[in-house]
Amino acid sequence: MSTDTVIPTSPAENPAGAPTRKVFIKTYGCQMNVYDSARMGDALASEGYVPTEEMGEADLILLNTCHIREKAADKVYSALGRLRDMKKARNAEGQELMIGVAGCVAQAEGEEILRREPSVDVVIGPQTYHRLPDALRRARQGDRVVDTDYAVEDKFEHLPAAGKASIRARGVTAFLTVQEGCDKFCTFCVVPYTRGAEVSRPLRQILDEAARLADSGVREITLLGQNVNAWRAEGPDGRTWGLGDLLYRLAEIPGLARLRYTTSHPRDMDDRLIEAHRDLRALMPYLHLPVQAGSDRILKAMNRRHTAAEYLQLIERIRAAKPDIAMSGDFIVGFPGETDSDFEETLQLVEAVNYAQAYSFKYSTRPGTPGADLPDHVPEEVKVERLERLQSLLLKQQAEFAKSCVGKVVDLLLEKPGRMPGQLIGRSPWLQSVNVDAKTSQIGDIIPVRIIGTGPNSLFAEPTQGLVAV
C-alpha cells in the first residue's frame, strides 16, 4: 500500500516569528507509518511547517518509507530520481527544496541513500524522527544528515503533543502507537532489523495521548504495534499490565466509543486479552491475527514458533468468548521449500477458519534475513499459481461474510462524505466500508443502520428508526 499522507495542522500553532514553510509527506506501507507521518508533522509544526497536498509547492518533501514489500528500496530510489529533477528546477529559480527519507528503507539503507542520491538532505530512521527538526536545521547549514541510530531516549517523550486543530483535521478515527519493534525474528521478515527490539510505551503516555484524542473529537482509536499484543507496562496497581488490561482502561475514557488494535502475534494472545473481547462493548469484534501458513513444516522454517493446530485452537477460544468476531489474517505462499502438500495444508487451514478478510502475498527475499539463505526456492510460476488459488478462496470467504451481514442492524461510525449528495461513509464493527444515505446525521455520529446490499469492496445500508444494533 502506498498513500500520499498530508499531515494537517493549524497555522495558529506555529511559533511566533517562525517562517512558514510547506511540507509534503508521502507515506508508504502500514498504519504505523501513517501514525509516524502524523507525528513527524506535529514535530515540524513547531518549526513553522504547514502541510500541503501539492508536492510542487512544498519546501520540504519527506518520503516515509516501508521495507516490507518486494523491491521497496528500488521504488524509493525511483521516486528520488524524480524529486532530483524537481529540486534542480527549483534551485535554478533560486528557491529552496529540501528532500528527506524516513522510515524503514532509511534505516536499512542509511548512508547508501546519500551516496546514490545527492539530492537527499536528510535520512532519518523510525526510532529517531523526533530529531527531524534538528536534522533539518543542520541540513540547511550545509550538512547532509544520516540519523539511523536506535535512540536511547524515549522519542515519544520528545515529540510535541498534537493540538486540537491538528487532531480534528485528521478526522474522527486515529491511530495510536503503543508498541514498536519485534523480538520474534520470523525468517522472512526485516522488521527486527529496521525497527529494533520490542519496546512498549509507558501506560501514562498512552492514556494521556488517548485522552487528548478523545477530547478533540476522536471516536475510534486503533492501537498499533509490530506485535501490538506484546505490549507490557507497569500498571498503577504495581503489577505488569498487558494489552487486555490497557484496553479495559481505555474503554473508560469519556467520548471514546470504539477500540481496535493491530497487528497481533498468536503467541501473545493471552487470556486477559480474550476476556477483553468478551467484556468490552467498545472493543470491536474484528481481529487481525496472522498465521502465514498452514503447514507445520513451513511454520517451523518461518520460525513462527506455533503449529497450525495451536493456531486453530486459539481461534476456537476467541470465538467461544466472542462468537460474532470476524477474523483476518496474513499469508505467504511459496516460502522456500514449500511443497504442493504444504500449500494444500494452508488451504485447509483457511477453510477451517473461514476468514472475513485476509492479505496474501508471494514470498520474496529480503536481504539480510535468514529466509534469503534457505535452499529450495519455489519457482515464480508456481508461486503465482498458488497465490491465485489462495486468493480465490479468501475472496470467496470475504464475499460470503459480506452477504451474511445483509439484513443485520449494526452501529455505524460515520467518517467521511460519500460520492452522492447526502451520502456518508462509515465503518461497520467488522471494519467494512459502509455507504449510507444519512442527510440528518453528521461525521462523528454513531448511528444504527440496516445493511441492505453488498458491493465489490463495500456495503450499503439505510438508517433505522427505533432499532438497536445487534
Distance (Å, whole) CA 371 – CA 292: 14
Indicate the pairing of strand 240-242 with strand 232-234: antiparallel
Measuring CA to CA, which residue among 228, 329, 241, 230 is closest to residue 286?
Answer: 329
- Say if residues 376 and 345 touch (Cβ distance below 8 Å): no
Looking at residue 250, its amino acid is L
Q: Is 288 helix (H, G, I), strand (E, B) or coil?
A: strand
189 is in an annotated binding site: yes
Measuring CA to CA, which residue among 62, 55, 51, 65 is closest to residue 86?
Answer: 55
Q: Is 291 helix (H, G, I), strand (E, B) or coil?
A: coil
Indicate the pairing of strand 98-103 with strand 173-177: unpaired
For the chain, how many residues are written?
470
Task: Map grid coordinates 521495507 to a residue.
Answer: 67
Measuring CA to CA, which residue among 258, 245, 280 is closest to residue 210?
Answer: 258
Distance (Å, whole) CA 244 – CA 268: 11
405 is in an annotated binding site: no
| Cα Rg of the chain (Å, integer) | 23
Q: What is the 3-state secondary structure of 297-339?
A: HHHHHCCCCCCHHHHHHHHHHHHHHCCCCEEEEEEEECCCCCC
Cβ burial 269-303 (10 Å sphere, 16+ → b, else e): beeebbebbeebebbbbbbbbbbbbbbbebbebbe
Beta-carbon neighbour count of residue 426 at 10 Å? 29
Q: Which residues are annotated as a binding site for [4Fe-4S] cluster?
A: 30, 66, 104, 182, 186, 189
Q: Which residues are annotated as a binding site?
A: 30, 66, 104, 182, 186, 189
